[in-house]
Amino acid sequence: MKQTILFFALLAFAFTQHTFADAPDSAYLFSYATVKNNGKNGLHYAWSIDRKNWNGIGPEFRFLFSDFGTWGSQKRLLTPFLFQDQQGTWHAIWSLNEQVGQFAHAQTSDLYTWDPQSYPEVMIDGNVTMPEVTYQPNAKNYRITWLSQTNGLQKIFKTTTTDFKKYTPTVEASENDRMYAREEVLIDGEKQTGTVTKVPWQFIDGLIRFYELSKYHEKQRAERLTDDAGRFAGLTELTAEITADGENRKAISNMLIGVFFEDINYAADGGLYAELVQNRGFEYTPADIKFRDKNWNSKKAWSFTGNQEFVIDTVAPVHPHQKHYAVLTIAKIGEALQNEGFDGIPLKAGDKYHFSVFVRGLDGAKGKLLVRLVDPNGKVYAAGTTPSAGAHWKKLELVLTAKEGTDNAQLQLIPQFTGKVALDLVSLFPQKTFKERRNGLRADLAQAIADMHPRFVRFPGGCLAHGDGLHNIYRWKNTIGPLESRKPDRNIWNYHQSMGLGYFEYFQFCEDIGAEPLPVVAAGVPCQNSSTGGYGQQGGIPMCEMDQYVQDILDLIEWANGDKNTYWGKKRAEAGHPEPFNLKYLGIGNEDLITDIFEERFTLIFNAIKEKHPEITVIGTVGPFSEGTDYRVGWEIASKLQVPLVDEHYYQPPGWYLNNQDFYDRYDRSKPKVYLGEYATHLPGRKLTVETALCDALHLLNVERNADVVSMTSYAPLLAKHGHTQWNPDLIYFSNTDIFLTPDYYVQQLFGQNPGDEYIPTRIKLSANDPEVRKRVASSLVRDHKTGDYILKLANLLPVDVRANIPLTALPEFKKEATLTVLKGGIEEEKVTPTVSPTEVNADFRYQLPAYSFSVIRFKLN
């Protein structure tokens, strides 16, 4: 922090000198975009005194970035046009790509702090290129013209606006309406096209400062522990005195550590949801994975050993939400329909498995099914026969016992009759699910989550919650009730959601592990990177449908908390939970693009919940980063509406955590509280090592100090299946049979198992004065009133030990028996586990913080 202050002092000094000694009154500003990186590098600036010699401000440095469409192909900023309105506000408009009939608009007062972007649709048929703006003094409005290719012809069109929010209908324009105000200038020897304006020098000065500061932050972010050998060469063992300030205690949140479960990386189907049959309802569709694989369809994971191909039908299904089912034509008894599971079906010797299927005999066929679990060599591990099926859909069930264990079984269904038979919702569950729940969760994974002692579980996402376009918004009502009535959907992470793990199962899991449920529903807008429906872009549920959408959210509260005699409470009771779930928190939105569209819908939902259910704590959203437009405007909206909590997200490299330790110290305590809903330390290559774990720990120590304003946190994402990972890093990796706990998992676990509700400030007096060294040693002391214990957490992110004297004399007398837990290792190590040992504490307590370690000392009062 001191270093930051020093930097700002130097920067201020340098600029003061520059500004006042010989700065011009005004200069020319050139704004442009290059074609590099397919036009995705954003808006650039250059300045000139004489309009001939141009100085690029950090050439290719982006002062504005397009938010339009999906990552990868979109987010392009083409042919920008910068313009200052009559009130002095700057506006940039630009073309988005070569196809859409929209242009982009954003405005700013300082040329680098931009308000939310909008993308007015001005062409129904035709694209928008080279847009430009002129003020029309007589009409007192702004005329926007552009070129458009319609039916192979290039034409000019125009619209007008007074506020850049509402536009008059588009009409064809003439050459006279165009100004062709763009110029070509040379920057670093390269010709660039853009607009030139004369501006007071302070604007250029501000842009240069902004650029310099960004560069400085970039340098800070690049700091790595892996560079310590050079950075700290010659550093030897340090000593420290760590003292507690018993006077200035403060109450802190006792909800600090939770988990964020998102169905990403096969976290649900094929993961936590214990179903062993893949594509059990024959509902996979090529659209799930954007038509990238023609074999990803209703037959995925299934095969038939008979001579005739099995077919998929949709006439008279078990339930309209489960449209597809399989029809087999059995020519000879012995022909089998087989399912390969999710990379094989794992079986444990002696364990029981619950099988079920919906069956309907066609054209008079009827009889029983032989059900077997076999390996690819035909070895049979379990077998059983169902009751008979007839002419109507009937659910048949049986229990299979595995004689031996294997990782790679297949499920076989062998009708014991010839003719045609329809099958749907073929299911196989281990009986040993977590807490032995039917339709339950994989026990080892659920236990690993429970072991973190999370105080809450946020679900079902993430991007999954707001979906890939309007039709993909996660609707909780589609995920409750009998499995055959649930409505499967495409998973935004490019696979399939069976919805077998639905809202009932999430709430039940929370109850089973003593965590508060924190469902997140979309704020009436889909993912800012939506890719379905043309080029995507946020859009929003039409306002005429918003009342129903708001009602769905109110119904969720009734479903969770209503009496069993209410309409929705009854549904919960029918599912096996007559008592209310006691929902307290509800997330509205997920790092959405903060636009007018968002604000209108969020406000509607927020006000409705506030009015009807003031007992619910609503959590708002402030974009995907720790700075920028969404963060700034999201906070403004949340503060204006007095939203109780806002959900912040940021994924940062080690250097950010090392150099932003005062991030929450700066937060205004009178504004909404923070739920840090997604964060992680990201390395190039996205591995989790001792380095990332220690940066997480350091951050959480700083958060704990600020847990009067940060109420909740959750690392993201939680689960990832080997071979099916869309996002790295994740806290827990798993295969069908094993789980792999990362160093970062253990940090979460240590914080989760050692929470406090009172913070006691500590002071570290280190034998080194170098701020680079000092910022690497941190402590936090909390008291947990439930157990009465005090917990001291210590992080050492240095390559040397720190011998600490910890005279905790400001605290009441404590027992000498304490527990010490230490997580340490080489900074590049990926496999470490904490060691737990008894230790002794007294008034003259000494502890040596190992190099690169995180230690937790838990002690009791006398």
Q: Which residues are catalytic?
A: 591
Q: Does 462 bind ligand AHR (CB under 6 A)?
A: yes
Closest CA to 691 of 614, 743, 728, 652: 743
Q: How many residues contact ligand AHR, by CB under 6 A?
A: 13
Cβ closer to ligand AHR: 366 or 722? Answer: 722
Residues 6+ apart with CB under 8 A from 659: 3, 4, 220, 221, 223, 775
Phi and psi at 488, nearest 5°, equal: -65, 165
Q: Does 727 bind ligand AHR (CB under 6 A)?
A: yes
- The interface region with ligand AHR, picked from 214-222, 458-466, 555-563, 599-607 by CB under 6 A, is 458-466
Q: Does 367 bind ligand AHR (CB under 6 A)?
A: no
- The interface region with ligand AHR, picked from 6-14, 55-63, 186-194, 457-465 by CB under 6 A, is 457-465
Beta bridge partners of 443: none
Cβ closer to ligand AHR: 216 or 727? Answer: 727
| Residue 593 near residue 538, CB atoms below 8 Å | yes
Report the residue number whose CB is nearest to ligand AHR: 462
Cβ closer to ligand AHR: 462 or 644? Answer: 462
Q: How far is the CB of 466 from ligand AHR (least distance, A)?
A: 8
Cβ closer to ligand AHR: 590 or 796? Answer: 590
Q: Does 623 bind ligand AHR (CB under 6 A)?
A: no
Tell me how far CA of residue 719 lies from CA of 181, 368, 468, 646, 793, in angstroms.
53, 39, 21, 24, 26
| Token reading at 604 | 């509607």
Q: 634-663: which residues touch ligand AHR (CB under 6 A)?
A: 649
- The interface region with ligand AHR, picked from 314-322, 437-445, 455-463, 689-697 by CB under 6 A, is 455-463
Which of 101, 131, 519, 624 lies at the binding interface for ligand AHR (CB under 6 A)?
624
Q: Does 678 bind ligand AHR (CB under 6 A)?
A: yes
Closest CA to 466 of 491, 499, 500, 498: 491
Cβ closer to ligand AHR: 359 or 518? Answer: 518
Which of 528, 590, 681, 780 lies at the binding interface for ligand AHR (CB under 6 A)?
590
How far is residue 536's CA from residue 521's CA, in Å, rounded to a whole number?
20
Sheet holding 190-200, edge to edge: 55-56, 44-48, 26-32, 190-200, 183-187
- In DSSP notation, 57-73 reads SSTT--SB----S-TTT
Q: How far is the CB of 492 from ligand AHR (least distance, A)?
A: 8
Q: How far is the CB of 304 from ligand AHR (least distance, A)?
A: 37
Q: Does 591 bind ligand AHR (CB under 6 A)?
A: yes
Q: How far is the CB of 543 from ligand AHR (least distance, A)?
A: 25
End-to-end, the C-alpha distance of the chain in Å comes to: 38
Q: How far is the CB of 678 from ligand AHR (least distance, A)?
A: 5
Tell me how far CA of residue 660 lies from CA of 3, 10, 780, in angstroms.
11, 19, 17
Cβ closer to ligand AHR: 516 or 678? Answer: 678
Q: How far is the CB of 506 from ligand AHR (least distance, A)?
A: 16
Q: Does 101 bind ligand AHR (CB under 6 A)?
A: no
Q: Does 201 bind ligand AHR (CB under 6 A)?
A: no
The 567-586 site mask, x for binding ligand AHR (CB under 6 A), equals --------------------
The dihedral built from the CA positions of residue 715, 717, 721 and 727, taken in this order, carries a sign that is negative
Cβ closer to ligand AHR: 462 or 526? Answer: 462
How far is residue 385's CA from residue 397's CA, in Å, rounded to a whole number?
9
Which of 317, 415, 461, 519 lies at the binding interface for ligand AHR (CB under 6 A)?
461
Beta bridge partners of 618: 586
Q: How far is the CB of 730 from ligand AHR (least distance, A)?
A: 9
Q: Is 645 helix (H, G, I), strand (E, B) or coil?
A: strand
Sheet holding 585-588, edge to edge: 259-260, 456-459, 516-521, 585-588, 617-621, 645-652, 673-681, 710-713
Q: Does 463 bind ligand AHR (CB under 6 A)?
A: yes
Residues 6+ apart with CB under 8 A from 635: 622, 646, 671, 672
Question: Look-up: residue for tokens 């179903």?
Answer: 275
| Token reading at 131 | 């847009």
Q: Is 16 helix (H, G, I), strand (E, B) or coil?
A: helix
CA dihedral 470, 474, 477, 482 (to 10 degrees): 130
Cβ closer to ligand AHR: 649 or 858? Answer: 649
Q: Does 335 bind ligand AHR (CB under 6 A)?
A: no
The dihedral built from the CA positions of residue 544, 545, 546 and 547, taken in this order, carries a sign that is positive
Cβ closer to ligand AHR: 406 or 497? Answer: 497
Closest CA to 358 of 311, 315, 401, 326: 326
Judge if the upstream peptide bond of residue 717 is cis by omega within 30 degrees of 0.
yes
- The interface region with ligand AHR, picked from 116-124, 342-350, 386-394, 456-464 by CB under 6 A, is 456-464
Q: Is 149 helix (H, G, I), strand (E, B) or coil?
A: strand
Q: Does 716 bind ligand AHR (CB under 6 A)?
A: yes
Q: Does 262 bind ligand AHR (CB under 6 A)?
A: yes
Cβ closer to ligand AHR: 637 or 716? Answer: 716
Q: How far is the CB of 677 from ligand AHR (least distance, A)?
A: 8
- The interface region with ligand AHR, picked from 59-67, 323-331, 386-394, 461-469 by CB under 6 A, is 461-469
Q: How far is the CB of 391 from ligand AHR (least distance, A)?
A: 46
Judge if the upstream peptide bond of residue 460 is cis by omega within 30 degrees of 0.
yes
Q: How far is the CB of 526 from ligand AHR (least distance, A)?
A: 12
The site for ligand AHR (CB under 6 A) is made up of 262, 264, 461-463, 590-591, 624, 649, 678, 716-717, 727
